């Protein structure tokens, strides 16, 4: 097969070269031309503090981000994959989270009589969802379902940059762009019309650490928090990687030393037996 291909190529190499060039030209031109009528603005790349090789999440920012989520986004969005206990030591202390959880009632059961009952939430419960089911969520939002935000940073292209741009990108629709009722113009959302009303306002929340709650500050904090939700293990993964790399590096040095200086003398010696 390979031989036949090679023969065919030598015979028709001009035709092959032409085909390859035109495919490459097509590949280069296609995405560009598709982007023109995409009606989508690509999010710029932001310099997030937590993205460095040895950088960790900023816990103060995570705490503020969780506050923004609870006070703003939680009206419409769930974060089902995160349980209160996972936030211990990340955003709040155990006592604070026990108190926060106990304010929410969850359905549990069945009890000994086969009845479902309500009880205050515990640390082992997931964060509460605003709607009982998908249909209720759609009904409350003009037919659009607010998606679960647990893995949202991973679910969208250029995750945190897109989310930050989406939250800060609401503006007037350009002239000539018809907006249907219940849709808002946002150039970062595919198609430009999103069913989510602009969620953030300046001073929409009051931060307990005194940070000015501008729209961009709230967006940065909540996106960092959502990033943590999607990758809670990021910090420990980086720490473990650093430990492994150090140990592997030291092992490599020791191996090199033994190979070069200890073992080589044994390997290169020559033993001569004299009669
Ligand atoms: C009033 C209800 C409401 C609030 C409050 C709200 N959202 Fe939404 N959100 C929606 C709806 C509805 C959609 C679905 C939009 C669509 O499909 O057009 C949505 C979609 C999204 C999406 C997905 C966009 C995509 O690319 O599909 C993200 C991310 C998001 N919201 C983040 C947030 C964050 C973060 C907050 C808090 C700062 C928030 N939302 C507050 C209703 C809300």
User: In the prediction, which pLDDT does 25 show?
Assistant: 47
Ligand 1, residues 65, 70, 76: which to mutate, most atoms within 8 A of Cβ?
A: 76
Identify the three-state secondary structure at position 49: helix
- Read off the pLDDT of each residue in 233-239 and give the average, rounded to a whole number: 95
Q: What is the pLDDT of residue 23?
A: 46
Q: Is 153 in the pocket of ligand 1 (CB under 6 A)?
A: no
Q: Where are the beta strands (DSSP E) in the chain?
A: 105-108, 117-120, 184-185, 193-194
Annotated binding residue 171: no
Q: What's the 196 CA to ligand 1 centre distance in angstroms?
A: 5
Q: What percent of the chain has pLDDT over 90?
A: 76
CA 130-73-220 angle, 5° bins: 155
pLDDT, mean of residues 222-245: 96
Distance CA(128)–CA(252), nearest Å, equals 50
220: its two tokens: 């940065």
Give the Å distances, CA to CA, from 95 to 23, 89, 120, 202: 63, 11, 15, 30
Q: Give the pLDDT confidence of 69-113 residue by residue, as tens digits.
A: 999 999 999 999 999 999 999 999 999 999 999 999 999 989 999
Measured by CA distance, the residue closest to atom 3 of ligand 1 is 76
Q: What are the chain's domains?
A: 35-82+144-247 (1.10.760.10), 83-125 (no CATH)
Q: Is this structure's pTM higher than 0.95?
A: no
Residue 260 has pLDDT above 60, yes or no: yes
> For 117-168, what is each residue's pLDDT tens digit?
999 999 999 999 999 999 999 999 999 999 999 999 999 999 999 999 999 9
Average pLDDT along the chain = 88
Nearest ligand 1 atom to the CA of 223 is: 35
């Amino acid at each position: 097969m390979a031989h036949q291909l090679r023969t065919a190529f030598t015979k028709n190499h001009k035709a092959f070269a032409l085909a390859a060039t035109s495919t490459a030209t097509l590949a280069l031109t296609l995405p560009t031309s598709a982007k023109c009528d995409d009606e989508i603005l690509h999010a710029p790349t932001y310099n997030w503090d937590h993205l460095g090789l040895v950088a960790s999440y900023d816990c103060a920012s995570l705490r503020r981000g969780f506050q923004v989520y609870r006070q703003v986004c939680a009206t419409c969005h769930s974060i089902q994959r995160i349980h209160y206990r996972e936030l211990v030591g990340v955003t709040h202390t155990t006592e604070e989270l026990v108190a926060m959880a106990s304010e929410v009632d969850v359905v549990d059961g069945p009890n000994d009589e086969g009845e479902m009952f309500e009880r205050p939430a515990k640390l082992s419960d997931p964060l509460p969802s605003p709607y009982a089911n998908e249909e209720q969520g759609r009904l409350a939002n003009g037919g659009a379902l607010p998606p679960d935000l647990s893995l949202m940073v991973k679910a969208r292209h250029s995750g945190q940059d897109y989310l930050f741009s989406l939250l800060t990108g609401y503006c007037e629709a350009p002239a000539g762009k018809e907006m249907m009722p219940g849709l808002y113009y946002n150039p970062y959302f595919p198609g430009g019309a999103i069913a989510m009303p602009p969620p953030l306002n300046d001073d929409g929340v009051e931060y307990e650490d005194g940070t000015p709650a501008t729209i961009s500050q709230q967006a940065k904090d909540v996106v960092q928090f959502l990033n943590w939700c999607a990758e809670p293990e990021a910090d420990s993964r980086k720490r473990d990687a650093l430990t492994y790399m150090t140990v592997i590096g030291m092992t490599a040095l020791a191996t090199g030393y033994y190979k070069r200086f200890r073992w080589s003398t044994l390997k290169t010696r020559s033993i001569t037996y004299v009669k």
